[in-house]
Amino acid sequence: MNTADLGLPVSVPSTALFTDQYEFTMLQAALKAGTADRRSVFEVFTRRLPEGRRYGVVAGTGRVLDAVENFRFDGDLLGFLRDRGIVDEATLQWLADYRFSGDIHGYPEGEVYFPGSPVMRVEGSFAECVLLETVILSVLNHDCAIAAAASRMAAAAGDRRLIEMGARRTHELAAVAAARAAYVGGFHSTSDLAAGFRYGIPTVGTSAHAFTLLHDTERDAFRAQVDSLGRGTTLLVDTYDVTAAVAAAVEIAGTGLGAVRIDSGDLLMVAHRVRRQLDELGARDTKIVVTSDLDEYAIASLAAAPVDAYGVGTQLVTGSGHPTCSMVYKLVARAASADPGAPLVPVAKKSAGGKLSVGGRKWAARRRDEHGVAEAEVLGTGPVPEPLVGRQLLAELVKGGEVVARESLDTARERHVAARGALPVSAAQLSRGEPVIPTEYLG
């Protein structure tokens, strides 16, 4: 299945070169050594959460599935590899027929994760799995970081709406992915039309200070906007004097004015003053939207303010200080030969400096207490204990090279709300601390 089968308006280009060269050098050497066909298991995980984070959020799963489906080598790509001398002819012939034919399991999109959680497990021959390392990590490290920031902001915002508006603060393609991840993490809409076009995310937008400055007076600008967009529009009221602007906005649009936006100043104080003024003018249903370099801490500080929605840009699309999750893609088991029936042998890197990993093909489950609250992330390589059988987290995403788990962004978004809601209450705290539940390993 490709994006066209889902009715999506944008197809995904080949992702075959969204990778590091060493994937190809390993491939060539393994093909020559006769080890390329050994059955292998790779796992994606992080050894630790970013400092101060209490949980991680899985996002980008759907984009990974697109990337795997579109990992193909056409003549131009093969020509590039040949001209640069990156691989030999035997490897080029192997790449010409590349199609991932293995299996992928993973935490469903929107689920939460913790240190060591096997967020994604890729199984197949060494050759076909090793090529996917960089593109999978590129997607998950970016999208999970954005979704985690979005989730913290959503927890701080409560039932108030959140608007993603960071497109101008990041790479143009990263902006689309960021809007998608933010939606999974709890945002309600985006200002980025490419994200709306590609993923169906609700889009919003009205005007900037430039529109006000274009006109001879602020009143002229408000009148032009209301005449064009109707009384339900949002008027930006802090270009000059906020009090005068609010009075003009209500006079021109009437008490049915949709909203006013505040983009500068002491947002807590200004929001209270604007709310009081709107109410006195009879515009009791007019909403207040605040923007201006917000993050989860600023949003939390405005909890007592009469604010109805937050617009967040820079801090969101940069992961609010943590633009990556430091996920890795490690070989944890491989067969002793290319024989399809050869048993898997656990393997793991052994080194100093905190880069140890745990070998073996793992299952993952989340243990809950009698109230249904999560109390531990349990990982193991042996039999799954009976009480945890129904709590397993890994879902089948790709079987025999075919995607089997397409789902809507709304499904992932709803899953995240449920997953976050099942964590201890302290998960929503913005103060620094350890992961909200521990990770336990069973043999």
Fold agreement between 3-130+326-354+390-418 and 147-321:
no
Question: pLDDT by residue (tens digit) across 68-107?
Answer: 999 999 999 999 999 999 999 999 999 999 999 999 999 9
Q: Which residue has the higher pLDDT, 157 or 9?
A: 157
Q: What is the percent of the chain where pLDDT is above 90?
A: 92
Mean pLDDT on 256-262: 98
**How far does the chain reach from its first CA to its final CA, in angstroms?**
38
Residue reference for tokens 């299996």:
103
pLDDT at 1: 38
Which stretches of 51-203 are assigned E, i.e. beta strand?
56-57, 103-106, 112-113, 120-125, 161-164, 189-190
Residue closest to 377 by CA, chosen among 426, 422, 330, 318 = 422
Residue reference for tokens 């009075």:
247
Q: Is the pLDDT of residue 3 over 50?
A: no
Burial class of residue 129 in the structure, from the number of CB atoms within 10 Å of its CB (0-12 exposed, 13-18 middle, 19+ buried) = buried
Q: Which residue has the higher pLDDT, 11 or 183?
A: 183
Residue closest to 417 by CA, chosen among 42, 158, 61 = 158
Q: Judge contact between 274 and 245, C-beta under 8 A.
A: no
- What six digits make up the tokens of 66? 């697109």
Domain residues of the chain, as ranges?
Answer: 3-130+326-354+390-418, 147-321
Please list, in sequence order, all residues whose beta carbon lies within 8 angstroms of the beta carbon of residue 130, skipping any fewer than 6 positions away. 23, 26, 27, 30, 40, 42
Please list, in sequence order, all residues whose beta carbon lies within 8 angstroms of the beta carbon of residue 404, skipping any fewer than 6 positions away. 396, 397, 398
The Cα–Cα gap between 138 and 320 comes to: 18
CATH superfamily of 147-321: Aldolase class I (3.20.20.70)
Residue 384, phi-psi category: left (phi > 0), alpha (psi -120 to 50), beta (remainder)? beta
Does domain 3-130+326-354+390-418 correspond to CATH entry 3.30.390.10? no
Q: Is the pLDDT of residue 385 over 80?
A: yes
Model confidence at 352, in pLDDT bands (50, 70, 90)? low
Question: pLDDT by residue (tens digit) across 286-328?
Answer: 999 999 999 999 999 999 999 999 999 999 999 999 999 999 9
Mean pLDDT on 174-198: 97
Q: Which residue has the higher pLDDT, 249 or 350?
A: 249
pLDDT at 349: 84
Q: What is the pTM of this model?
A: 0.94
Model confidence at 375, in pLDDT bands (50, 70, 90)? very high
pLDDT at 52: 86
Q: Is the pLDDT of residue 353 over 80?
A: no
The Cα–Cα gap between 1 and 101 comes to: 14
Across the chain, what does the average pLDDT equal?
95
Mean pLDDT on 345-369: 87
Instruction: Give me the residues paired with residue 120 across strands.
Output: 44, 106
pLDDT at 284: 98
Q: Which residue has the higher pLDDT, 438 or 431?
A: 438
Q: Is the pLDDT of residue 347 over 70?
A: yes
